[in-house]
């Protein structure tokens, strides 16, 4: 697949759909119906996955805008019949001769709510940044400008009043994405903490639970293989060690990318059973090698009962003895751990 071309195609496909939401006439609930269509977020989810998969340290971002008086002039009113109602801060006539009307307070409330809802869709589609576009003559800019905004209510007149709509829109968007850090990447704030961050981040929640479950299964297996007492203290020590290794290795080694490339080289189709079974081989090879080497080393090199002259030989013997068995356990444990991770992420991270 040509990811660049496919991403570009999806960009314009989804951009058109969102523009239909934001730029269509807003004088009825029907005009906003697209914003509540579940399928609208699907191309966005594919696009964000592509951005992350391409691994160029980029984050998926999206811009939200409402065209106001320009709604429908070239997106939906192809025949330039001006049959659609167009709205702005005040009554007037566009440069192309099309009339537009002043938005009522109920319509403004509806637009503010729509911004918040679409921001929620973007969050579900895994966009990590949302930009609210208030420039270039679109609706928010029309309210900000005294040239177009001659209202006499709370949305017109003073600078504070003319900024009111933009502020309400920003509040609506932030409310739907309030657990995201206001920086380059999403992260925990001192107020919400790491637990709240995990509850709003599907991938991080899945990965953490997967690492913990995988670590627990492997800890029990290692203790049984090495004949070490199976008690809470030993289980917790080995469990913490393996889970930490999994997390650190996963941060620094892109073994999932290696695995996907291996599957594609074999000509396997993504999503098939053959792909899923093959996709688990390389991660198990990498993680099991690190885990077996480190855990065996700790159990031997920190054991004062074993003479220092014998430790290296015993470590190599233990690694060679345990590795094949722990690889098989690691391979199947990964499927169990991923299943548990997905259950937790679906339940707590709000990703459907």
Distance CA 69, CA 87 (A): 5
* pLDDT, averaged across the chain: 75
Which of residues 144 and 256 earns the better pLDDT score?
144
> In this model, does residue 52 exceed pLDDT 70?
no
> In this model, does residue 303 exceed pLDDT 70?
yes
Which of residues 230 and 345 earns the better pLDDT score?
230
Domains located in the chain, CATH noted:
3-178 (3.20.20.70), 197-348 (no CATH)
- Average pLDDT of 180-209? 49
Q: Give the per-residue pLDDT at 144.
A: 93
- Average pLDDT of 161-172? 92
The alpha-helical segments, DSSP class H, found in the chain are: 3-23, 41-53, 105-124, 139-144, 159-162, 164-176, 193-199, 202-225, 232-252, 255-265, 273-279, 281-301, 308-348
Q: Could you report the per-residue pLDDT of 174-194, keeping only the tens digit for each? A: 887 654 433 333 333 333 344
Q: Give the per-residue pLDDT at 296.
A: 84
Q: Give the per-residue pLDDT at 141.
A: 92
> In this model, does residue 13 exceed pLDDT 70?
no
Name beta bridge partners: 102.
88
> In this model, does residue 351 exceed pLDDT 70?
no
Highest mean pLDDT pick, 10-14, 19-23, 197-201, 255-259: 255-259
Distance CA 335, CA 338 (A): 5
Q: Give the per-residue pLDDT at 251.
A: 81
Q: Give the per-residue pLDDT at 168.
A: 93
Eight-state DSSP code of residue 88: E
Confidence class for position 142, pLDDT limits 50, 70, 90: very high
Q: Give the per-residue pLDDT at 103.
A: 92
Q: Could you report the per-residue pLDDT of 234-291, keeping only the tens digit for each? A: 899 889 888 888 888 888 888 888 888 898 889 888 778 898 889 889 988 998 899 8
- Average pLDDT of 145-151? 91
Give the CA-trace dihedral at 198, 58, 2, 11, to 10 degrees: 80
Nearest to 153 by CA among 105, 197, 191: 105
Q: Could you report the per-residue pLDDT of 53-110, keeping only the tens digit for each? A: 445 556 778 888 888 887 765 555 555 555 556 789 999 887 777 788 899 999 999 8
């Amino acid at each position: 697949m040509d990811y660049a071309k496919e991403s570009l195609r999806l960009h314009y496909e989804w951009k058109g759909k969102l523009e239909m939401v934001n730029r269509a006439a807003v004088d009825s609930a029907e005009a906003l119906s697209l914003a509540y269509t579940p399928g609208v977020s699907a191309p966005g989810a594919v696009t964000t996955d592509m951005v992350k998969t391409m691994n160029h340290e980029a984050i998926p971002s999206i811009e939200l805008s409402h065209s106001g008086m320009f709604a429908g002039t070239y997106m939906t009113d192809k025949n330039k019949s001006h049959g659609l109602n167009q709205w702005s801060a005040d009554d007037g006539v566009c440069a192309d001769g099309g009339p537009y009307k002043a938005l009522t307070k109920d319509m403004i409330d509806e637009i503010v709510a729509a911004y918040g809802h679409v921001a929620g869709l973007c969050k579900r589609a895994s966009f990590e940044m949302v930009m609210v576009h208030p420039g270039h003559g679109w609706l928010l800019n029309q309210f900000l400008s005294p040239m177009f905004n001659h209202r006499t209510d709370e949305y017109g007149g003073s600078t504070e009043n003319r900024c009111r709509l933009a502020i309400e829109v920003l509040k609506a968007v932030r409310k739907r994405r309030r657990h995201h850090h206001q920086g380059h990447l999403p992260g925990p704030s001192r107020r919400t903490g790491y637990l709240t961050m995990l509850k709003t981040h599907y991938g991080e929640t899945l990965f953490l639970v997967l690492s913990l479950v995988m670590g627990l299964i492997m800890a029990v297996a290692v203790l049984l293989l090495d004949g070490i007492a199976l008690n809470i203290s030993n289980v917790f020590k080995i469990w913490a060690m393996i889970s930490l290794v999994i997390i650190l290795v996963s941060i620094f080694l892109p073994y999932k990318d290696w695995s996907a490339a291996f599957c594609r080289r074999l000509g396997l189709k993504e999503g098939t059973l053959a792909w899923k079974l093959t996709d688990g081989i390389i991660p198990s090879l990498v993680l099991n090698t690190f885990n077996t080497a480190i855990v065996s080393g700790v159990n031997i090199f920190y054991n004062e009962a074993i003479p220092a002259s014998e430790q290296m030989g015993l470590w190599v013997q233990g690694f060679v003895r345990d590795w094949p068995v722990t690889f098989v356990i690691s391979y199947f444990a990964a499927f169990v751990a991923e299943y548990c991770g997905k259950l937790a992420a679906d339940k707590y991270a709000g990703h459907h």
